[in-house]
Amino acid sequence: MKPKTYPDTVAGLTQYIRNTVQRPKVLPEAMYLGEGICLRFGRPLFGEPFCPMGLLKEAKCGTPYYSYEFRDDFQFGLKTIKKFADWWDDQKDPQKAVDAVWGKEKK
């Protein structure tokens, strides 16, 4: 049995990201973003960095944390959004974090 790598409360959102967002070709980088080091995709000098939820088509920004930062038709609520954001921001190993969301890459 595969070990759990994300909280049960975000399993639906994690699966949704896995099914709708292509696995990024590069690993996220550790960036200092106000309250500490967080893993983000993209280059902040060239625009806003992204967390996995920010890669969703429903997201209005690169690092959503509140319901209003998604289109109205987004199916997940505030509690789930915050739980996923907090879990992602606690990740320190880029490879393990990406594997937890998108599964291990087949070689």
Average pLDDT over residues 40-58: 84
Give 97's contacts (C-beta < 8 A, 6+ positions apart).
Answer: 28, 39, 88, 91
Residue 35 lies in a domain: yes
Residue 107 lies in a domain: no
Measure Cα distances from 104 to 2, 12, 23, 47 in Å.
11, 18, 10, 28
**More confident: 18 or 104:** 18
pLDDT higher than threshold 90 for residue 28: yes
Residue 23 lies in a domain: yes
Task: Count up the domains in the chain and report the number.
Answer: 1
Residue 50 lies in a domain: yes
- The upper half-sphere exposure of residue 31, i.e. CA atoms within 13 Å in the direction of its Cβ, equals 18
Range of the domain at 31: 8-100
Residue 3 lies in a domain: no
Residue 71 lies in a domain: yes
Q: What is the pTM of this model?
A: 0.88
Average pLDDT over residues 83-100: 94
Confidence at residue 104, expressed as pLDDT on a 0 to 100 scale: 87
Cα separation, 4 vs 93, in Å, equals 16
